[in-house]
């Protein structure tokens, strides 16, 4: 590995640590709001627990953790390890499930709004 590549890798690692620290400080200082992260949002505040948001959060955290473990185990100094295609498909499917749930909810709300009243 050249000196330039080592410098770029160090800067990238420092940037990721800085972003993680800023996020942690924001969450602890309550400037990054996490309240209601996995609940439906309503006009009156938080609604019920959203299964789509829960599964999206869990899949994202599991994939990020798995990739972090892969990075830490990687002895290859030429760059970060490739993200397995299965993980990419899992995250894509998770996002699709979440978006499909949002679409169904929107169509149901539109149907209720257009239903004639007795």
Q: Are 72 and 86 in contact (CB under 8 A)?
A: no
What φ, ψ does residue 114 adopt, rounded to 5°? Answer: -90, 0
If DSSP states are collapsed to H, E and C, what string results for 10-38?
Answer: HHHHHHHHHHHHHHHHHHHCCCCCCCCCC
Q: What is the pLDDT of residues 36-77, one digit of tens each?
A: 888 877 778 788 888 888 999 999 999 988 888 887 787 666
pTM: 0.68
Q: What integer pLDDT is reported at residue 8 of this predicted model?
A: 80
Tell me the C-alpha distance between 39 and 42, whole Å: 9
């Amino acid at each position: 590995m050249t000196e330039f590549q080592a410098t770029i890798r160090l800067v990238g690692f420092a940037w990721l640590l800085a972003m993680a620290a800023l996020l942690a400080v924001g969450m602890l200082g309550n400037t990054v709001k996490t309240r209601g992260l996995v609940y439906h949002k309503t006009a009156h505040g938080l609604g019920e627990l959203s299964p789509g948001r829960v599964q999206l959060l869990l899949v994202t955290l599991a994939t990020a953790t798995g990739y972090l473990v892969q990075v830490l185990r990687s002895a290859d100094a030429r760059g970060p390890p490739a993200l397995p295609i299965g993980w990419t498909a899992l995250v894509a499917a998770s996002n699709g499930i979440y978006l499909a749930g949002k679409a169904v909810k929107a169509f149901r709300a539109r149907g209720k709004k257009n239903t004639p009243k007795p």
